[in-house]
Chains A and B, each alone.
Chain A
Amino acid sequence: MRSVRLGLALAAVGSVLLTACGGTSTGGGATSEADVSGTIRAANWGGNPTENSLVKKYEADFMVKYPKIKVTQEEIPTNFEDKIKTEMSANNEPDAMYVSTTLMNFAGPAGRLLDLTPLMSKWGVSSTEYIASLLTPWQLNGKLYALPKDFGDLVLFYNKTLFSNAGLATPASWDDIKADAKALSKGSVKGISLPADAARFDAFLFGFGGQVLSSDKTKAVFNDSKAQAALSYYTSFQLQDKSSDLPDKLGATWPGDAFGKQKAAMVIEGGWLIPYMHDTYPAVSYGSIKLPAFPVKQSSLLFTNGWGCSAKTKYQDACMLFVKYMTGKIVQQQVLQSGFALPSRKDLGTDPGITSNPDVKNLFDSATFATAWTFGPHESKVNDAQNTALQSVFLGKSDVKTALDKAVADANAALAGG
């Protein structure tokens, strides 16, 4: 019995060694895609079963196209960045992985991600294929650490029924939205639901000409007069006009929920609202507009996710081909058809999946003026500080200037290294 177990153990160790050493031909010398070989572990966030099975399918398709490359899917259902971070610190990270903007903020500056620039030119990938604003999160010191696989951004959704019942036309400016919100607020229904969430407010902040961080990202600056004007405006719906309320005050868990329950006639949300409404509140008739121009400029927020490679991968070429495929036209067209996310590629802008649906088109087109929502290695503390400021103004605990000054001081303490 003992010898059997020992044999099994040795076999297990042996197979690990074989896997580890098996790839002596890394494809480093390969000049055509068909010659590239390797075994890559590919980690994706698996929290959404639909998304997870789509990734599995694309990876299977990839292995059919590149038979010499073997891909092992590693799905991480929750706390994706925490898991990758601990794997990286143990030098055991996957070869290819989702590089969220959060992961980029941790791993990019620490040199743990592979610069894709030289491999892109080697394997014929041009950064011009992607929407330019979607590349910014992964650019650092002239290097590019991931390619965007999809994105979401913010538009204004409005309830068509509530609008027509009140005899209101589709809003076209912020003045319209403000007046309509007042007119629509009756009883337990509010005209709009603006949450205490920096991931919504920052669209206003940028639109009013403000910034969260200085251009070198070393200082928090969201307490200047522009930021104050933005926050005063954002909170005026609720505090002065009484035409907005926080989702939980409307008996909802998030603004989209309040919108579906028809407790809020307008919300600022992204493409994720469309399948949510379809599945949960199919009876609600709604439309969308791009966020109208703010006093300084038109603005929206971009949330994007990419595929990248570990700096330590032994199969750089295989990994690059994988990233190329997973962010390429074939996969992204399927992503679009599944209604799951917006494609990050310019060449899909004319796809019927986008042009035939006005809401999807609004979302896709907003990417041109939207800003990627990402704030560097101390992003979590910066956003905590912003959210705390928003909450304290909404809850009436603080005025706009005091709240922002305090938040900037907190954020700067974090930026200075906690």
Chain B
Amino acid sequence: MAVSVAPEAPAVTAKVRRRSKRGGMAIAQRRAGLLFVTPYILFFLILQLAAFAFAIWVSFHHYDLLALDNPFVGLRNYTRLTINEDFLIAMRNTTEYAVVVVILQTAFALLLAVLLDSKIKGRNFFRTTWYTPSIASSVVISMIFLYVYHPTGLLNSILGLVGIHTTEAYLQSTTWALPAIMFLNIWTTAPTFMLMFLAGLQDIPKEIYEASSVDGASAARKLFSITIPLLRPIIFLVVSLGIIGAFQVFDQAYIMTHGGPLKATLTVALLIYQNLFNDTGTVGVACAEALVLGIIIFGLTLISRRVIDTKIEY
């Protein structure tokens, strides 16, 4: 994950620094620490930083995987994006997708977490079953949902049981294809975020709730005046991870709809893939698109930090 929010991090380094004054043992420990992080740093440098730098370089070239000569084209790959209809469609789809998915999955995850945090019967059972969708790979889930959304599939069968008889082909409909993928994604990722909220809920001091009970606060009042404000760091984490994930949506669209019908589910990541592999001489365009997408995600994460992650005072 690109964004790691670890509040403990400064404390850990401080501890290490304090210990290091005690001498030889600490130096050995520090060496061991460096040794442990070296494999990751190497992987990061080679597979991420070098690849990232190369992508920037490629984005200024008319680049093809098989061509021997890849001429420099300056900013052309970037300026073309502003008039490239596919990119604009993909951008609009992805934004729409991200807004709906991030809001709904955050709310849904919070709701599930609060429910599980209360002392309901069969808590462990719900905790396990609700988390199940997050365990399966998105590819597997997508394959399953191909049958759920099939004209004679599970969804329409269930609708038939309650008296709504339809053979709507959801994934072939320009109206329903994107919402269908949104729903599937909310369903699979919300439980992961539910776990983060659950962890956050454990951190809220019980005394605050007890004190508010003494003052006669209702359950709703407790949720909006205590739980949500005190969960802000976790909400920030969930929203930023949600934004990152939503803007990178690829597998579902790739497997279920290939971006169709009529580009209704063409996402930026899918377009990048198409330009990378399915066309000739458009690797530079793909890299430019990827960098623009990266900058957008980075910017949105910063903004959400500004808005949500303000300091908490107990």
Contact = CB atoms under 8 A, between A and B. Distances in A.
A281 to B, nearest CB: 16
A337 interface: no
Contacts of A377: 279-281
Interface string A378-389: 101100000110
B66 A380 contact: no
B159 to A, nearest CB: 14
B62 A388 contact: no
B305 interface: no
A245 to B, nearest CB: 11
A378 B279 contact: yes
A79 B258 CA distance: 14
B151 A388 contact: no
A395 B261 contact: yes
- Contact-residue size bin, chain A (C-beta under 8 Å from the other chain): 20 to 34
A390 to B, nearest CB: 10
Interface of B: 62, 64-68, 80, 84-85, 150-152, 167, 169, 172, 174, 260-263, 274-275, 277-282, 285
A112 interface: yes
A119 interface: no
A89 B66 contact: yes
Contact of A249 (B66, B80, B151, B277): B151
A53 interface: no
B262 A392 contact: yes
A248 B151 contact: yes
A85 B66 contact: yes
A88 interface: yes
Nearest to B66: A110
B221 to A, nearest CB: 50
A141 to B, nearest CB: 16
List the 6 shortest-distance A-B pairs measured between CB atoms, nearest first. Answer: A377-B280, A380-B278, A110-B66, A248-B169, A89-B65, A251-B152
A397 interface: yes
B262 A397 contact: yes
Contact of B280 (A248, A251, A378): A378
Given A110-B67, A380-B274, A418 B262 contact: no
A401 to B, nearest CB: 18
A106 B67 CA distance: 9
B64 A249 contact: no
B152 A417 contact: no
Contacts of B279: 377-378, 380-381, 414, 418
Given A106-B280, A378-B280, A380-B274, A249 B167 contact: yes
Nearest to A383: B278
Interface of B, helix, strand, loop or mixed by DSSP: loop
A388 B64 CA distance: 25
A82 interface: yes
A111 interface: yes
Interface centre among A105, A380, A392 (most CB of B within 10 A): A380
A391 interface: yes
B62 A417 contact: yes
B99 to A, nearest CB: 25
Contact of A251 (B68, B167, B261): B167
A85 B277 contact: yes
Contact of A418 (B65, B174, B260, B281): B281
Interface of A: 79, 81-82, 85-86, 88-89, 105-107, 109-112, 246, 248-249, 251, 253, 377-378, 380-381, 387-388, 391-392, 395, 397, 410, 414, 417-418
Contacts of A414: 279
A391 B260 contact: yes
A418 B277 contact: no
10 contacts: A81-B277, A85-B66, A85-B277, A110-B64, A110-B66, A249-B169, A377-B280, A381-B279, A391-B260, A418-B80
A97 to B, nearest CB: 14
B13 to A, nearest CB: 33
Given A85-B66, A418-B282, A251 B151 contact: yes
Contacts of A246: 172
Given A395-B261, A395-B262, A111 B68 contact: yes
Contacts of A248: 151, 169, 172
A103 to B, nearest CB: 10
A64 B281 CA distance: 42
A82 B274 CA distance: 10
B263 A388 contact: yes
Nearest to B146: A253
Given A82-B277, A251-B167, A380-B274, A112 B66 contact: yes
A388 to B, nearest CB: 6
A85 B68 contact: no
Contacts of A86: 65
A4 B274 CA distance: 46
A196 to B, nearest CB: 8
Contacts of A107: 66
B6 to A, nearest CB: 35
A418 B262 CA distance: 19
A55 to B, nearest CB: 24
